[in-house]
Amino acid sequence: MSNQKILIVDDDTNICELLRLYIEKEGYSTVIANDGEEAVSAFSKEQPSLVLLDIMLPKLDGWQVCREIRKTSDCPIIMLTAKGEVFDKILGLELGADDYVVKPFEAKEVIARIRAVLRRSGSDNQNAIKEVKWDKIVINLTNYELKVNGEVVDTPPKELELLYHLASNPNKVFTRDQLLDQVWGFEYYGDSRTVDVHVKRIREKIDGVSDKWDLRTVWGVGYKFEVKG
């Protein structure tokens, strides 16, 4: 665990110091940034295992920092914010955040979220190759690669993780809230339309590829990866 580095981004130095103390006590190393520009620079230089990212930041806000990181990296991001509106949660999900903690928070809760997100992302040194194959499609979560008819299709991380989760559990129906919990890891209540947005984008890439499987909507319930025959 000691080789894992956490980038803490918050303009409140007291919060940064509190988080640093708790995180380093758990055996992680830390790097601190107090504004958005510093965060982007520190991320590029330090290559952390995970980012704790406040939303209300000087220079660049947390959304902009998240976008910049996602241009080059799938590094796990946990958003920290005093805002609890559903809109913020949806925006965080759609930008590629992995979890979301609302201030004021308990430091122990943040530690638990860090562990869970690192575990889900495979950053806990699990070496098993995560790959699902069906007719004319290969979903590889180790390399974050989607192949359709042997061709690599550019796919954002959360779309790939959602498709992988569904295709790993063929014919099992998941509600939107289950998918938010199991793919994004959010303890999420309220509007879950972000799942619909991701499914729509996935379908644009895979619809009609094979008659042996289909990404289906189960009306009034959720979604399933249906395998036929």
Q: What angle do CA 225, 228, 229 make, to 5 degrees?
A: 150
Mean of all residue pLDDT scores within the chain? 87
Same domain, 115 and 21: yes
Same domain, 16 and 92: yes
Task: Check whether 97 has a pLDDT greater than 90.
Answer: no
Predicted confidence at residue 66, as pLDDT, reads 93
- Provide the pLDDT confidence category of residue 102 given band limits of 50, 70 and 90: confident
210 phi/psi in degrees, rounded to 5: -145, 150
Predicted confidence at residue 128, as pLDDT, reads 52
Task: Check whether 2 has a pLDDT greater than 70.
Answer: no
Predicted confidence at residue 208, as pLDDT, reads 93
The count of domains in the chain is 2
Given 121, 139, 167, the domain boundary residue is: 121
Tell me if 148 is assigned to some domain. yes
Type of residue at 182: Q
Given 88, 121, 154, the domain boundary residue is: 121
Domain holding 218, by residue range, is 131-227
Same domain, 180 and 217: yes
Q: Are 48 and 6 in contact (CB under 8 A)?
A: yes
Percent of the chain that is helix, strand, coil (3-state, to 5): 40, 25, 35
Tell me if 31 is assigned to some domain. yes
Higher pLDDT, 184 or 101: 101
Task: Check whether 191 has a pLDDT greater than 90.
Answer: no
Helices 62-72, 36-46: axis angle to 10 degrees equals 20
- Mean predicted confidence (pLDDT) in 181-208: 81
Same domain, 208 and 169: yes
Tell me if 159 is assigned to some domain. yes
Token pair in block for residue 106: 């308990």
The CATH number of residue 157's host domain is 1.10.10.10
Spatial neighbors of 66 by CB under 8 A, at least 6 apart, are 53, 77, 79, 92, 95, 96, 97
- Mean predicted confidence (pLDDT) in 191-207: 90
Task: Check whether 210 has a pLDDT greater than 60.
Answer: yes
Same domain, 187 and 110: no
Predicted confidence at residue 64, as pLDDT, reads 93
Given 96, 121, 146, the domain boundary residue is: 121
Residues forming a β-bridge with 102? 81
Model confidence pLDDT, tens digit, residues 143-170: 889 999 999 999 988 899 999 999 999 9
The CATH number of residue 43's host domain is 3.40.50.2300
Residues forming a β-bridge with 27? none
Predicted confidence at residue 9, as pLDDT, reads 97
Model confidence pLDDT, tens digit, residues 104-129: 888 888 988 898 888 877 655 444 56
Task: Check whether 229 has a pLDDT greater than 90.
Answer: no
Tell me if 190 is assigned to some domain. yes
- Mean predicted confidence (pLDDT) in 87-100: 78
Task: Check whether 188 has a pLDDT greater than 80.
Answer: no
Q: Which of 113, 133, 109 is nearest to 121 (CA)?
A: 113
Predicted confidence at residue 86, as pLDDT, reads 60
